[in-house]
Amino acid sequence: MPSPPKSDKPWLFRTYAGHSTAAESNKLFRANLEKGQTGLSVAFDLPTQTGYDPDHPLARGEVGKVGVPVSHIGDMRALFEAIPLATMNTSMTINATAAWLLALYVAVADEQGVPRDQLSGTTQNDIIKEYLSRGTHVFPPKPSLKLTTDTISFSASDLPKWNPMNVCSYHLQEAGATPVQELAYALATAIAVLDAAKREVSAAAFPEVVGRISFFVNAGIRFITEMCKMRAFTELWDEICREHYGITNEKFRRFRYGVQVNSLGLTEQQPENNVYRILLEMLAVVLSKNARARAVQLPAWNEALGLPRAWDQQWSLRMQQIVAYETDLLDYADIFEGSKEITAKVESLKTEARAELQHILSLGGAIPAIETGYMKHALVQANTERLKAIERGDTKLVGVNIFTSTETSPLSAGDEEKVLAVSENIEFEQIEKLKSWRATRDRKVVAASLAVLREAAEAGRNIMEPSIACAKAGVTTGEWGETLRQVFGEFRAPTGVLLIMDEQPEKSLEVIRARVKHLAQELGKTPTFLMAKPGLDGHSNGAEQIAVRAADCGLEVTYEGIRLTPEQIVATAKEKKITLIGLSILSGSHVPLIRDVMNRLRQAGLDNIPVVVGGIIPHEDSHVLKQLGVARVYTPKDFDLNIIMNDLVDLMETRVSN
């Protein structure tokens, strides 16, 4: 009898995790590993991602909310306590401060006695997509790119198993990118990084540097298109490695990628349907052997409601394990090889992506395309079209714009906690721990190590070894970030908001425009709308779309981008005589930040300005916000922007009549 076919090894099973404190996150990591997870994927909180300590004014309300706070090597020790770094594959979602977090990780490994050449894992380290979609950039593009290449050249010499940079197209899709844009922008990013890295490593080492570049992608619900996108990625990357860089070794041309499937399409309405969406999206990246993901992490069914609990993450992990171990998927060669339909779709995507990539390269590459705002504007336009298709019903979402009647879900009914809540005491506790940390370290050693770091940055030398020395000296995340801010400066990216009018608006939009014109006559000026993002949350997609639609309705819109303090928001409202304020927060810090904004408005005598809020806001928090004086609260279920615009005009009319 013939022997049974040899099964492929499954991909790495991950869940994206981290919250509250390093100690609590460590418990979660160890519990997930005991359940069969085979790699770690670390989520850091926004102050850590943007280089601030917990006691910085911009960190208010953000500590421990969307990930774990890591302020110094003590936190990194606690995060990986009893987890052997020699055998663990660790992915860290960190970008602007990637060099620092990698330095802390290496410093802890040194303490554990782990040889650096045994460390395996990935630092996301894709700063370009931060300017486009996620908003946790710190420094201007050119010095940011230098920090990335510093980690690449350091890894080439010291961390041969480490992926120092993970080209991340995931967030591009979350920002509305089409499959073609996702392909072209990610490949343009990889070219920009490798062109820069080529100048810093030897010719002999460069092929291995190319081989260590990995990708982190998104897979949406149109899983045939998404699967074809992954095959196109694989073939285009091989083409670029051969033709652009002359890489002859097939091993170094291999397209290696991890994936988290789409969170953008998860719905607050009938959230139990998200289980099916997540499964179908996962199939896009595991069905095709020739373009199969090396690591998969899945969102939880309730992510549109708030921070998932441990049980919710377990459910997503079990989904992966069932597909890998209970089905026969891994027993077969590529089941799509030779398909005319698949081949035609892949070739179509490749042709369009090549054209868009060439256009970006004609502009000078990804960095100039960031600085001019070209790519950001294109993403905003694509997202605008995506939302309009949902509003028109051209894109159908079950439970959202079709089949909306529903039975009560036992998963989201009842009084028990449906999502994980992070206590507001966490911030106070982290600040107190930080004070104790600062008091017990050797200040002279700290100052000396920071001076060496500054000198290396100013001279354009590699900052990795100085950063590791800073980590061992007890330097904090905020001190490291501030030192480099003083050398490189900070960057405010173009918002990408196109304040233009739709020349052929639908009837409902014409009605809103007429209402705005009438309101302008009563006010004696065009009504003014301030769209603002307080705190460190950089996910600006929703805020941008609200700003675009408000301008399309005829409102005078002020949108100054991300990362504003409550003080700045109130000052702008006073200076520009704002008629209505919109606040957008997706990080879970809505209650403390909005409380601060509302208090400052009252102190400034501006509490007559209506305030509306949007974000991932649990139902019980909506009541809290309304008690603070917020007029309307919008969550992901509110997908029809014209309904929101009508609400805004209602509020402004009420203010005028009063």
Residues marked as catalytic = 16, 170-171, 533, 537, 539
Query: If we measure between CA atoms, which residue out of 630, 17, 605 comes closest to residue 303?
Result: 17
Residue type, 633: V
CA distance 633 to 615: 8
Residue type, 186: A
Contact 131, 563 (CB under 8 A): no
CA distance 15 to 263: 13
Query: If we measure between CA atoms, which residue out of 570, 425, 584 comes closest to residue 54?
Result: 425
| 44 Cβ neighbours under 8 A, 6+ residues apart | 18, 67, 68, 69, 70, 92, 93, 94, 101
Query: If we measure between CA atoms, which residue out of 572, 555, 525 comes closest to residue 641?
Result: 555
Contact 592, 61 (CB under 8 A): yes
Contact 127, 93 (CB under 8 A): no
CA distance 438 to 48: 17
Q: How far is CA 289 from the centre of its chain?
A: 27
CA distance 237 to 244: 10
Contact 3, 28 (CB under 8 A): no
Query: If we measure between CA atoms, which residue out of 165, 92, 171, 102 comes closest to residue 131?
Result: 171
Q: Which two tokens stand for residue 100?
A: 């620092």
CA distance 531 to 550: 9
Contact 367, 192 (CB under 8 A): yes
Beta-bridge partner residues of 558: 530
Task: Name the phi and psi angles at 642, rounded to 5.
Answer: -70, -35
Coil vs helix vs strand at 407 = coil
Residue type, 57: P
CA distance 53 to 444: 20
Helix (H) or strand (E) segment spanning residue 557? strand 556-559
CA angle 149, 250, 205 (to 5 degrees): 35
Contact 98, 148 (CB under 8 A): yes
Contact 460, 142 (CB under 8 A): no
Query: Do the strands 580-584 and 556-559 form a parallel or antiparallel pair, or are they unpaired?
Result: unpaired
The total number of residues written for the chain in this structure: 658
Q: How far is CA 14 from the centre of its chain?
A: 17
Packed helices 223-243 and 274-286: angle between N→C axes, nearest 10 degrees? 30
**Strand order from edge to edge, sheet including 556-559:** 556-559, 528-532, 580-584, 611-614, 632-634
One-letter-per-residue 3-state SS of 106-174: HHHHHHHCCCHHHCEEEECCCHHHHHHHHCCCCCCHHHHHHHHHHHHHHHHHHCCCEECCEEECHHHHH
Structure-token match 């779709």, residue found: 345
Beta-bridge partner residues of 214: 166
